[in-house]
Amino acid sequence: MKRFLGLLLMFALCIGTSCSRHKNDDHSEDINKPEGHRESDKHGHEVHKKLHKKHKPNKTLNPFIQLKLKDFVGFKAHGDNWKIVGDVLVDRTKEKTISSESGTGILLNTNDQPKNKNLYSAFEHKDIELEVDIMVPLGSNSGIYFQSRYEIQIFDSWNVKKPQYKDMGAIYQRWDKEAQKGKQGYEGYPPRVNVAKAPGLWQNLKVIFHAPKFDATGHKIKNAWFEKVWLNGVLIHENVELSGPTRGGSLPEKPTAPFFIQGDHGPVAFKNLKYRLFEQEKVVFSDLEKNIYAANADLKNLDTAVPKISEKTNKFNLLDIADSRAHKIAVYKGILNVPRTGKYLLETRPGKGDVEIHIENQKAYKIKSTGAYKTKIFNLEAGKIPFKIIYNHNNAKRRWKGTFNMFIEGEKMQRYAAQDGVDKNAEKFDPLAGIIIEPTDKARLQRSFVKHKNARRTHSISVGTPEGTHFSYDLARGSLLKVWTGAFLNTTHMWLKRGYEQLGEPVGASVSMHGDLEFAILKDEHSVWPKPLPENKGIKQLGYQLDAKRMPTFSYELGDVIISNSFKVEKDKREITKIIEVKNDRILYHKIADGEDIKVLPNNTFIVNNEGFYVEFPEHSHYHPIIRTYKDKKELVVRVPKGANKITYKIIW
């Protein structure tokens, strides 16, 4: 009866507060659950809490090797087109043009055509994970050939709407010169989405590549494949198999070979180049026996207890127990086949149960029920080692603790899921999949929490436009949070199941703004920029008005000054125009951006945040931004005189 009354009360509350997942009313904004699910302190005031951290391995036995680029250590003999420099700068309006300053830390292909050569690594590799930052001038072109054979394309693909095999981050096509003209190219793979930035901005590329496998006679038994490729933080390829080398790659295929960077298609710069190598081996479970015991079984005497279920198996997987709501005890025992003597890292999340691990008949590790991952490093001898895992599923109803999971990593062994049938990346969020919402012929507004610099902004709204340029805005602070292009918003973490995290997340690569107060009253241009007061005191939201295309103008009061923000976008352009109107009887300062570095470029343009985006003021603007330094970062600030002001500038990425 109590359960029935509770359900009835929940139903009544739902009716009173309109529990629909989202609205389709063209005359009102789309509002989801976060509006009624603010995080508050004990007085009911909203707070900005740090996000619950996603699972990231906190230890590794196989750290990245960084090429410091002080010289050409790590590379073979090179052509004169390759240089080590300290800084580079690109004019995004000039084709294949890049300037440099002396120093170290950046690898530059100058595109000196008569002397052009590719640059080969001094080491050979099998499986490899490689990460690097790349700067591409207008119209330029290069590529990274893994094992000198399989190319990830580097290209100026800014504003390309439908990427192809030749665009930035693509896996280049193979080539059959004997085929009919127009049909020589095949097996090229475009990125899932184009997230290439504007010419002259640093872009991050991360690749996990697996070499082809050969038997003892040299016969190929498995093709090369790209496990994952990320560009600017977005997964653009997953599990792509290649039947052979891409065009321009060497023949024949081999178990090991160096990678090379293409040097004959245009100037390109590289920095922060790091890699780690993997051997093609795993710790293998064998001779497995699975026993299931009743909840009241004596854990200290399981060897003499009679199991309810006992079976031989060739797979290790506890999910049938770990995902159930019943209290059970599961025991796996068998043999660990260790490929080489050394250190092995075991990373375990017990979830809703306690875990005991026994090695060579000795208890080696015990973990109490928790939703956090725990790591333990073992020194193991090569060969066959008896083991036993006891899983006591004693917190079955505490679903928030998650399910059991386990990963293994070695000193030259890539981290992998220990359980058969479990994807090691299954818990990682894919912004291109799930519940995605889009605008139609007018802008679409969606309230949600927004993740910004690892904090949850709770009074936020995202605006999607039919032109394909979107942004998120913090209503509490009156500040722009992030901008992006392509598809609009992934609402999976808002509307799937209980929507615990309540996050609306950009689909594709977004560029984050500073997110602080955008306006302040300063003593002078050198004064420290103020932090928001608790509960954003001093700022009063005035809401927003929608124009005929449902594009909002946001307004708020800062003291006795009213500030309005509106935005304009153009179809298929990675830029947004910000228009600020303010009428003030005192001098104000407007903070446009901050970052590791800010440089002045021609034509009233600035490059911001370690070359993350451009800020461009109109040619005849009355406002003249200044670059100032505070601690270890730069700030781009403009002085706003007394009177009626209209400040306009573009953000380009």
Encode pLDDT of 337-347 as tens digits.
Answer: 999 999 999 99
pLDDT at position 496 is 81
pLDDT at 625: 96
pLDDT band at 396 (very low <50, low <70, confident <90, very high): confident
Task: Kindly report the average pLDDT of the chain as a whole number.
Answer: 89
CATH superfamily of 65-278: Exo-inulinase; domain 1 (2.60.120.560)
pLDDT digits (tens, 9 = 90+) for 361-392: 999 999 999 999 999 999 999 999 999 999 99
Count of Cβ atoms closer than 10 Å to residue 275 Cβ: 19
3-state DSSP percent of the chain in helix, strand and coil, to 5: 5, 45, 50
> How far apart are the C-alpha atoms of 277 and 129, rounded to whole Å?
7
- What single string gives the DSSP state of each residue in 352-394? TSEEEEEETTEEEEEE-S-SS-EEEEEEE-SEEEEEEEEEE--
| 246 touches 174 (CB < 8 A) | yes
Residue-wise pLDDT for 95-146, tens only, equals 999 999 999 999 999 987 777 899 999 999 999 999 999 999 999 999 999 9
Q: What is the DSSP letter of 535?
A: G
DSSP string, 552-593: EEEEEEETTEEEEEEEEE-TT-SEEEEEEEEEESS-EEEEEE
Q: What is the pLDDT of residue 21?
A: 34
Q: How far apart are CA 569 and CA 550, in angstroms?
A: 13
The partner residues of 520 in beta bridges, in order of sequence, read 589
Averaged over 637-643, what is the pLDDT? 96
Listed in sequence order, the residues at least 6 apart from 358 whose beta carbon sits closer than 8 Å to its beta carbon are 364, 387, 388, 389, 390
Tokens 């609205």 — which residue?
23
pLDDT of residue 397: 84
Give the pLDDT of residue 38: 34
| pLDDT at res. 59 | 82
For residue 256, the SS3 value is coil
Q: What's the confidence (pLDDT) of residue 433?
A: 79
Predicted confidence at residue 559, as pLDDT, reads 87
- Fold: same for 284-417 and 436-652: no
Say what percent of the chain tops pLDDT 90: 78
Is residue 430 scored above 80 in pLDDT? no
The residue-averaged pLDDT of 163-190 equals 95
Burial grade of 224 (CB within 10 A; 0-12, 13-18, 19 or more): buried
pLDDT of residue 437: 95
Domain 436-652 has what CATH class? Answer: mainly beta
Q: Give backbone dihedrals phi and psi of 276, rounded to 5 degrees, phi first.
A: -145, 145
Q: What per-residue confidence (pLDDT) applies to 5?
A: 41
The one-letter code for the residue type at 100 is S
Rounded to two decimals, what is the model's pTM? 0.85
Q: Are 462 and 472 in contact (CB under 8 A)?
A: yes
Residue 41: pLDDT above 50?
Answer: no
Q: Region 457-467: what's the mean pLDDT?
A: 96
Whole-number Å distance between alpha carbons of 455 and 462 = 16
Of 284, 288, 289, nearest to 338 by C-alpha is: 284
Domain extents for the chain?
A: 65-278, 284-417, 436-652
Tokens encoding 139: 């119209």
Tell me the three state secondary structure of residue 504.
coil
Higher pLDDT, 112 or 506: 506
For 299, the 3-state DSSP assignment is helix
Would you say domain 284-417 falls under CATH 2.60.40.10?
Answer: no
Are 356 and 368 spatial neighbours (Cβ–Cβ below 8 Å)? Answer: no
Q: What average pLDDT does range 502-521 have in this prediction?
A: 93
Do the beta carbons of residue 433 and residue 236 sit within 8 Å? no
- Cβ contact 403:351 at 8 Å: yes
Q: Do the beta carbons of residue 492 and residue 435 sit within 8 Å?
A: yes
Mean pLDDT of the region 66-81 = 95
pLDDT, residue 52, reads 37
